[in-house]
Amino acid sequence: MNIGRQHIGPLDIEPALTALAAALRGEGPAVELSVSPDGELVVGHTETPGCDDAVAVVRTSGSTGAPKATVLTVEALAASSMATAMALQGEGQWLLALPVQYVAGVQVLVRSLFAGTRPWVMDMSGGFTPAAFTAGALELTDKIRFTSLVPTQLQRLLDSPSPDTLAVLRRFDGILLGGAPASAGLLEAAREAGLRVVTTYGSAETCGGCVYNGVPLTGVEVRIAEDGRILLGGDTVAAGYLDAPESTDTFYEEDGVRWYRTNDLGALDGDGRLTVLGRADDVIITGGLKVSAAHVQEELEKSDGVAAAFVAGVPSAEWGQAVAAYVALAGADVASPTGDHAVVLEEDWHQRLGLLAPKTVLAAPELLMLPNGKPDRLAMIERLNSLHQGK
């Protein structure tokens, strides 16, 4: 798995740390980080009209549309950093293993500034590899160590890991895992390996993860709206979007609390623990039947040889929408979508899922990913559309 479409070497993050530190002190404009095609860190400064205490402008992933410029304030970032330290029971040194221009990367730098520690940037000039991650982790010197990963990265690290890789993974006091749902199998493998994994839920609009292992961080509130959507409120909510008028459908205030309305469905148990059930827009209506894309994805990933799956609805003349799946096969010949292994899997899925089984399957070595490690939903839907051809 290659995080990002460009390969970047070790970044000189000193300019970014200096600019962010100035903005946190109120002595400089808001910072927007990016990486040039040749791997150079670009520290930009962005005007934020109407928000004098802005520290950073972070682009959303764009997994479901055009990226939005999210404005993060000093109060929100400070609340997020403090709550994270409380949840992880300490501050320490961070290994940056995600793109620095997205919220998870920015937060590694911000948390390091609050902790007074020096982050280390792993070398991704050859993509994300266990060897590069291990080498980067070995450079850490603080007794307390953290990193943030997406599930695909952790899966790569745990696939036949070397003793050195296992050793550095076990040395982390906390491995924050977010950006996409982690399968039960991956979490079980991490537990068996003795890793301290913390699943996180959140987004750029909440300064990154604000719910750890289903429990809201200190200062964070979680509600479930009448339509089932997750509402996140409290001190870590962003000031809003820089390049779009604020909408009461996205950000709003109630009784002095600022809230962000997500596009995810969830449920709270009796102890207030959050379970994310999937995206609000992942319901596929095929032949009058409502199908949960998340449920079908979970079933496909139970099959031997399936490393990961993405399920979506595509236009269909016969069904209105047809269930389609982009499937990453492990250790199999995926030269064509109709390879023998894929055919056997499809037969199994039809037996187990019946009408819920995907009518179009595109098999590949891995899912298409965005630079921040999230699945590239739009790109995969486009390819599934082309393959299905509206049938």
Fold assignment, 283-388? GMP Synthetase; Chain A, domain 3 (3.30.300)
Looking up tokens 């109407």, which residue turns up?
A: 50
Q: Give the whole-angstrom CA distance, residue 134 versus residue 200.
A: 23
The pair of structure tokens assigned to 261 is 């309305």
Closest CA to 387 of 341, 323, 343, 331: 323
pLDDT per position in the chain (391 positions), as tens? 333 334 445 678 999 999 999 999 999 899 999 888 777 889 999 999 888 899 999 988 665 567 789 999 999 999 999 999 999 999 999 999 998 999 999 999 999 999 999 999 998 888 889 999 999 999 999 999 999 999 889 999 999 899 999 999 999 999 999 988 888 888 999 999 999 999 999 999 999 999 999 999 999 999 999 988 999 999 999 999 987 655 557 999 999 999 999 999 899 999 999 999 888 878 888 877 778 888 899 889 888 888 889 999 999 888 888 999 999 987 654 444 445 566 678 788 888 888 788 999 999 988 998 877 788 888 999 999 999 988 8
Between the CA of residue 174 and those of 108, 179, 181, 182, 345, what are the distances in Å?
13, 16, 18, 16, 36
Closest CA to 4 of 98, 106, 135, 123: 98
Closest CA to 41 of 49, 30, 33: 33
- Where exactly are the structural domains of the chain? 14-276, 283-388
Specify whether domain 14-276 bears CATH 3.50.50.60. Answer: no
Helix intervals (H) in the chain: 14-24, 74-88, 103-115, 130-137, 151-158, 163-171, 184-192, 293-300, 340-353, 377-388
**Entry field: residues in the chain:** 391
- Identity at 92, one-letter amino acid code: G
- Identity at 367, one-letter amino acid code: L
